[in-house]
Chain A
Amino acid sequence: MKTFLFIIIVLISGAFAGFVHGTVNFAIVEPYLDQAIGIENQNLFATGEEEDTPEFWVEYEGYRTWQKGGQILAGVILGVSVGSLFGIVFALSRNSLPGSNDVKKSLVLAGIMWLTLYFIPFLKYPANPPTVGDTETVVLRAILYLTFIAISGFGAVGFYQLSKKLQNNKKLLALLGYGVFISAVFLAMPENPDEITAPMNLVNEFRIMSVLGVTSFWISVGIILGLLWNRLLTKQETPQSYS
C-alpha cells in the first residue's frame, strides 16, 4: 500500500464528509442555536449583566456571523479528525468486515463506529444547545463524555478480538458481551451535572437535529472512503497466485 495515497484518501474523505456535516448543521441546527442564544440574551438582560442596546446587538451579530461561518470550517476540521480515526480502523479491519465491496464494508464500519462512538454515548450524555451547561462544569463534562466514548470504543474492539477466538455459532456471545458491558458502564457513569432550564421541546428538537447532522457525517465518510479506496487502493494489491 502506498503510504502517501492512503493518507490523502483518508483526509479527503474526512474533509468532504465534514463539509457535508457542517452544511447540514448550517441548514437544520442553526435555527435552534439562534433560539437558544436568544434565551441566553434575554437572561443576560433580565439579570442586568448586559443592556439591550444597539451596541450590544452590533457586537452580537458580529460574533454570531463568525460562529455561523465557523460551523462549516469546524465541520471540515472535525471531519478530517474523525475521518482519520475512521481511516485507521478501516485499514486495520477491512479484511474482516462483511460486504462484497469496499463501499459496503466501509458503510458497515461507519455504522458500527456511529453506534459505539456516537449514538450510545449520546444516549448517556446527549447534545445540549446553548443556555444549557454551566461554564464551571465544562471540563468535568468533557472528561465524562470522552471517557464514555473511549470505554465504548475500546470495549467494542476488545469484544471484537474475543469474537475472533470464538467458534462460528458462539460469535454472537461477544456482541451480547459488549451489550452487557456497555449497559453496566452506562449505569455506573455519573449523570451530566447540569440542570436543564431551557424549554424541553427546544432541547429535544435540537438533539434530533444534532443526531441527523452527525449521522450525515458517518454516512458520507463511509461512502466516500469506500469509493476512493475501491478506485485507488484496491487495484494495487497483488492477488494471491500459485504456480
Chain B
Amino acid sequence: MSETRQINVSKTSVPKLALLALGIIFAAGLFVVGFDQGHIFSLVYGEQAFTDLYIHELTHDMRHAAGFPCH
C-alpha cells in the first residue's frame, strides 16, 4: 500500500524584480536629495541647470537636516 507524502514548503523567497526596482528607486532618490547640483535638470536645460540649482534649492533644508554635506 502506497502512502502519499506531500510537503508544502513555506515560500518566502523575495522576487528579484522587486529588489531591482527598489534598488533603482533607492539610488535615484538618494541622488536627488543628497547630491544633485543641477545634474538631473541639465539633461534637459543644459549648462543653465548648474546655475539654477532648482533641485538643490528644493532639497536644501532636508539635505542639511538629514546630515548630507552641503555648502
- Chain A: residues with CB nearer than 8 A to chain B? 1, 3, 6-7, 10-11, 21-22, 25, 29-30, 33, 63, 66-68, 70-71, 73-75, 77-78, 80-82, 84-85, 87-88, 91-92, 94-95, 118, 121-122, 125-130, 133-135, 138, 141-142, 145-146, 209-210, 213-214, 237-243
Contact = CB atoms under 8 A, between A and B. Distances in A.
Nearest to A239: B10
Interface in B31-71: 32-35, 37, 57-71
Interface of B: 4-15, 17-19, 21-23, 25-30, 32-35, 37, 57-71
Nearest to B5: A243
B64 A240 contact: no
A242 B23 CA distance: 37
Given A67-B58, A77-B32, A243 B71 contact: no
Contacts of A78: 29-30, 33-34, 59, 62, 66
B7 A242 contact: yes
Contacts, number: 165
A130 B64 contact: yes
Chain A's interface: helix, strand, loop or mixed, by majority?
Answer: helix
Given A77-B29, A81-B29, A213-B66, A134 B71 contact: yes
Contacts of B29: 77-78, 80-82, 84
B67 A84 contact: no
A240 B71 contact: no
Given A33-B65, A68-B61, A135-B71, 5 more contacts: A6-B15, A81-B29, A81-B33, A84-B29, A214-B67
Given A63-B57, A70-B57, A238-B10, A22 B62 contact: yes
A75 B63 CA distance: 9
A239 B4 CA distance: 19
B62 A138 contact: no
A28 to B, nearest CB: 9
B26 A210 contact: no
Contacts of B9: 238, 240
Given A88-B19, A238-B11, A81 B30 contact: yes
